[in-house]
Structure 1
Amino acid sequence: MVAAHLLRKATFPLDIKLIERRPAIGKGVAYGTKYICHLLNVPAAKMSAFPDDPEHFLRWVQKEEISRGNLVPSGVQPNTFVPRQIYGKYIQAVLDEAEIAGKENVRLERIKNEAVSILPDGNGATISLSTGQNLRVNKVVLALGNFPPSDPFVQDKSFYTSLRYVSYPWSAQALSDLEQDDAVLLIGSGLTMLDLAVALKEQGHAGAIHVVSRHGLLPYPHKFTKPYPTFLNVETAPKNIRALVKLVRQEVKNAIAQDCDWRAVLDSLRPITQQLWQQLPLKEQRRFLRHVRIYWEVHRHRVSPGVANTVSEMLHSGQMVVHAGRIQGYDEDDRAVDVSLRKRKISHKNYAGEESGNTSEHEVVRVQRVINCTGTECDYRKFGHPLIQNLRSHGFIRSDALAIGLDVAPNGALLDVDGMVSQILYTLGPPRQGRLWETTAVPEIRVQAAALAEELLGMKV
């Protein structure tokens, strides 16, 4: 998207080099899925790539429906949740159209390769690729997206080398070579887990699907509601999490009393969430991450009704079982692995109306495969990727104070180990989580992409 904005807006000679190691540029992990059951978690009317043209994606997908109906479901409306595969095609189309419409002296070079080191200096930076090629550039945008999850903590980690364990849920082998009746354990109960569960369903899997996470909470489904008036003012809002949570809960009660859904209350916070986050003291941000984060995520990052219905059916039929607790250890033999769980004594209902509490303290589940769906690792100090290691070892980047992203200036410029703002390195999306908190969804990223392009063009890259 940054490349598309540069192509559209540049008025002077410009060479844009887009480096991507995957065969297809633009799709990434989310939109490169092969499963048609993987739907966008946001309706079509809110998925435009351009903040100043909110219906751009809706118009595009409706046009595609007419010209090539096999690509999209029939009758796409503003509230339709379309397959993620289609959004990948949309992003590619946006880039292609921007390239075609760009000025003659504004060029895009697609480079199928991987950057393994960046060496900034006073005049720009030298990028080294995995093939040994070096590129000389003036500015660098690290559009890194999300990184794989870390392995869950256990005392004996030897099982994590087993062929029965899949550390990366989007790897090609995650759901391959399974017998139809094999039992599977999915670690984590968020959106990634739901993706794996519905993919298993789509490929006809009939075996048990066990899910384990600390709280056993599932993301709630979307429900279309009327807009709710803003009830918090950034200037007067409390600067501590306890008071903020209390205010939101009270407002939810008020909304329900007026026959309004709680989702509308949370949605009304979206325009000011980043500001509320930024004015919290570091101590309060840490408190949020420890105590509130999981509840915010399951209520705020919701799933499409279609996926929620599929998961509800699996829960009701007993094919899926959700466990709240932690993994204590693994005991593998030649036929399966016994996973020991220490369970939490809690009780709550998931959106299928099922009780997700636990009555016993320990349980052992026997499965043929364990897949890590715990979500992306955000602590850049833990990454073994050569590019991140290179930048960290030279002090060109540093983690934010919460270790959930990189330290960045308001304009997206990266801070080095001494806190100096880079004039060469910039980023957007998930790496800015520590500063912005809400920075992983299209509505936030499209604004950052447009602003970053303007920033770079203003510097006459």
Structure 2
Amino acid sequence: MAEAGDKPTIAIVGGGFTGAAVALHLAAGWAGPGRPRIVVFEPRPQLGGGLAYSTREPTHRINVPAGNMSMYPDDPTSFLRYAEDRITPANDPDARNAAGLLFPRRRVFGDYVAHEIEPYLASGAIEHRQAAVTAVARDGAGWRVESDGAESLPADIVVLAVSHPDAGLPRALAPLAGHAGLIAGDTGPEALTAVHAEDRVLVVGNGLTAADVIATLNRQGHRGPILSISRRGLRSRGHAPVPQEFEADFTSPPPETASQLLHRVRVSLREADAQGIGWHAVLDAVRRQGQALWRLLPVAERRRIVRHVRPYWDVHRFRIAPQVEQVLERAIAEGRLDVIAASLRGARADADGIHIALKSRRDGETIEKTVDKVIVTTGPAHGGILESQPFLSGLRDAGYLTLCATGLGLACDDQSYAIGADHLPVKGLLIAGPLARGTFGELMGMPQVSEHALDIAHLIKTLAARESPATENAAADQRT
């Protein structure tokens, strides 16, 4: 705990986009004395990239137009201006789609975040500890953050801005654990160099990661057959050829059930179609109202959405970049890529390859396939977040962290304070970014994550401005 009279210390665990945005908004525009010490724990050398935006793979692109990406909710074209100043037909001839919208490589966005935060690092307003956090524990009224290779840090407020863990190995693939033909966890370009040009490949999953994998394999010269499976056979959709708008209020009257909300969306889809407007605009309208809709629904109805609607929502909500979509469509047209609805039933390996048993969703029949490589891209393990890192499991065991009721992340209240095992807000422990999705609903897109980071920064500023760390504790006591 900081000594009485010291300026408060804010520890941010995780220096991807969310953590970097919280730190930047905390440091920016802090007038007068009392600016806290802001320390970001991030093992990577550059803040802001995280897993998504630190990639150097040229086929990995942001999945929305650059005009929809910004660190600043009040300046939505910030990244677009940055990208347009640096991207030219010479250094990225495929950056724009047919409508002229810019879809930069993901590393460009990571560089943009680093560019924005650099002045605060240079001035000392933000400290970057290039270390992994190993433990977070109560220390008096505050916290103590332990990390590898660095001294412990007393902190008044801890902000958890970590990401979801990789999906675990599907049970049916357990016999392949340790096999050279299995690529799971790390599916980046270096891991994919193990795939030979003519290898027969099974991709488990049809989402954005699967699309990245297939695009990377294509760039690396792979020409063998690829079978991509998911339980429903759904794959991420592309963007509308031309941006459109659709106006609808899905919050009035407030929906009481998931079925009511789904009915309204279907009615709007028919109305839009009659007007020559595509589904993209309708679902964009739903997304803009996503947090309000989520708050209106009871927890039981939120669970129904997660269980029954989310797979369909995700493939329409999280769209692939047009450059990646072209790669997939070409591979399908050429017969190199097949996408089916099937589930894993078993796997074994011998000298002839990896033998996979699948169950077809269409007719329930067993499908036998022999491949050379199996690549697992089944997405994050939302329910496994508390077991993903020792410091998270330690906070859980101490009663400071719990899973949210929908299984999408960590439980927190409307101000983003973690909810402990006693069902009460935990003083000085905040959840930032997608891990708070269970409380806020739509919290995966860049605009929502930016706004959430700004909200947390404003909350911390308000607490610090009132007096000192002691004031924060008193305010939290009033809530509990």
Structure 2 length-normalised TM = 0.87
1:424 match: secondary structure: strand
| 1:177 counterpart (190, 194, 210) | 194
Say if 2:165 and 2:388, in contact at 8 Å, map to a contact too: no
Is 1:374 the counterpart of 2:374? The answer is no
Match of 2:148 in 1: 130
Greater helix content: 2
Give 1:73 shift. 6.4
CA distance, structure 1, for counterparts of residue 438 and residue 60 of structure 2: 28
Q: Residues 57 and 381 (structure 1 numbering): CA distance in 2 closer, same or farther, change over 3 Å? A: closer
Give 1:229 shift. 1.0
Say if 1:26 and 1:92, in contact at 8 Å, map to a contact too: yes
Say if 1:41 and 1:304, in contact at 8 Å, map to a contact too: yes
Give 1:237 shift. 3.0
1:17 match: secondary structure: strand
CA distance, structure 2, for counterparts of residue 434 and residue 167 of structure 1: 26
Cα deviation, 1:74-118, whole Å, max 9, x if unaligned, reads 779972111111111001111113445xxx6x6222111111111
Give 1:30 shift. 0.8
Say if 2:94 and 2:323, in contact at 8 Å, map to a contact too: no
CA distance, structure 2, for counterparts of residue 225 and residue 113 of structure 1: 42
CA distance, structure 1, for counterparts of residue 463 and residue 66 of structure 2: 34
Match of 2:394 in 1: 390
Match of 1:343 in 2: 360
Say if 1:116 and 1:390, in contact at 8 Å, map to a contact too: no
CA distance, structure 1, for counterparts of residue 61 and residue 94 of structure 2: 11
Give 1:17 shift. 1.0
- Whichever residue aligns with residue 262 of structure 1, its letter is W
Summarize the alignment of residues 205-354 of structure 1 with structure 2, pairs less than 5 Å apart. 205-223=222-240, 224-232=242-250, 234-345=251-362
CA distance, structure 2, for counterparts of residue 97 and residue 79 of structure 1: 30
Is 1:423 the counterpart of 2:421? The answer is no
2:50 match: secondary structure: coil
- Whichever residue aligns with residue 130 of structure 1, its letter is D
Q: Residues 23 and 333 (structure 1 numbering): CA distance in 2 closer, same or farther, change over 3 Å? A: farther
Q: Residues 159 and 65 (structure 1 numbering): CA distance in 2 closer, same or farther, change over 3 Å? A: closer
Give 1:64 shift. 2.6
CA distance, structure 2, for counterparts of residue 436 and residue 19 of structure 1: 25
Give 1:450 shift. 0.8
Match of 2:51 in 1: 29
| 1:145 counterpart (137, 157, 163) | 163
Say if 1:147 and 1:378, in contact at 8 Å, map to a contact too: yes
Q: Residues 173 and 73 (structure 1 numbering): CA distance in 2 closer, same or farther, change over 3 Å? A: closer
Match of 2:7 in 1: none
- Whichever residue aligns with residue 213 of structure 1, its letter is S
Structure 2 residue ranges without an equivalent (≥5): 1-20, 470-480
1:90 match: secondary structure: helix
Say if 2:349 and 2:355, in contact at 8 Å, map to a contact too: yes
Cα deviation, 1:189-248, whole Å, max 9, x if unaligned, reads 11111011101111111111111110011111011332111242x241321112221221
Cα deviation, 1:136-195, whole Å, max 9, x if unaligned, reads 1111111102211122233x7232332322221445653022211011111111111101
Is 1:438 the counterpart of 2:442? The answer is yes
Q: Residues 209 and 382 (structure 1 numbering): CA distance in 2 closer, same or farther, change over 3 Å? A: farther
Say if 1:378 and 1:405, in contact at 8 Å, map to a contact too: yes
CA distance, structure 1, for counterparts of residue 320 and residue 87 of structure 2: 23
Q: Residues 172 and 456 (structure 1 numbering): CA distance in 2 closer, same or farther, change over 3 Å? A: same
Give 1:309 shift. 1.4
Is 1:42 the counterpart of 2:59? The answer is no
Is 1:3 the counterpart of 2:23? The answer is yes
| 2:77 counterpart (35, 55, 64) | 55
Give 1:32 shift. 1.5
CA distance, structure 1, for counterparts of residue 384 and residue 335 of structure 2: 39
- Whichever residue aligns with residue 169 of structure 2, its letter is D
2:28 match: secondary structure: helix
CA distance, structure 2, for counterparts of residue 446 and residue 129 of structure 1: 27
Give 1:23 shift. 3.1
Give 1:24 shift. 2.8
- Whichever residue aligns with residue 461 of structure 2, its letter is L
Cα deviation, 1:385-431, whole Å, max 9, x if unaligned, reads 21111111111101111222111011111111111212211121121
Say if 2:200 and 2:225, in contact at 8 Å, map to a contact too: yes
Once the two structures are aligned, what percentage of the paired residues are identical? 28
- Whichever residue aligns with residue 114 of structure 1, its letter is A
1:407 match: secondary structure: coil
CA distance, structure 2, for counterparts of residue 229 and residue 371 of structure 1: 41
Q: Residues 75 and 235 (structure 1 numbering): CA distance in 2 closer, same or farther, change over 3 Å? A: closer
CA distance, structure 1, for counterparts of residue 222 and residue 300 of structure 2: 45
Cα deviation, 1:337-365, whole Å, max 9, x if unaligned, reads 011100111xxxxxxxxxxxxx6711112
- Whichever residue aligns with residue 118 of structure 1, its letter is V
Say if 1:160 and 1:167, in contact at 8 Å, map to a contact too: no
Give 1:298 shift. 1.0
Match of 1:94 in 2: 116
Is 1:455 the counterpart of 2:459? The answer is yes
Match of 2:478 in 1: none
- Whichever residue aligns with residue 256 of structure 2, its letter is K
Say if 2:95 and 2:104, in contact at 8 Å, map to a contact too: no
CA distance, structure 2, for counterparts of residue 203 and residue 406 of structure 1: 38
Say if 1:7 and 1:99, in contact at 8 Å, map to a contact too: no
Match of 1:118 in 2: 136
Say if 2:234 and 2:315, in contact at 8 Å, map to a contact too: yes
Q: Residues 257 and 171 (structure 1 numbering): CA distance in 2 closer, same or farther, change over 3 Å? A: closer
Cα deviation, 1:221-278, whole Å, max 9, x if unaligned, reads 011332111242x241321112221221111111111111111111112221111112
Say if 2:121 and 2:127, in contact at 8 Å, map to a contact too: no
Say if 2:27 and 2:35, in contact at 8 Å, map to a contact too: no
Q: Residues 72 and 139 (structure 1 numbering): CA distance in 2 closer, same or farther, change over 3 Å? A: farther
- Whichever residue aligns with residue 312 of structure 1, its letter is E
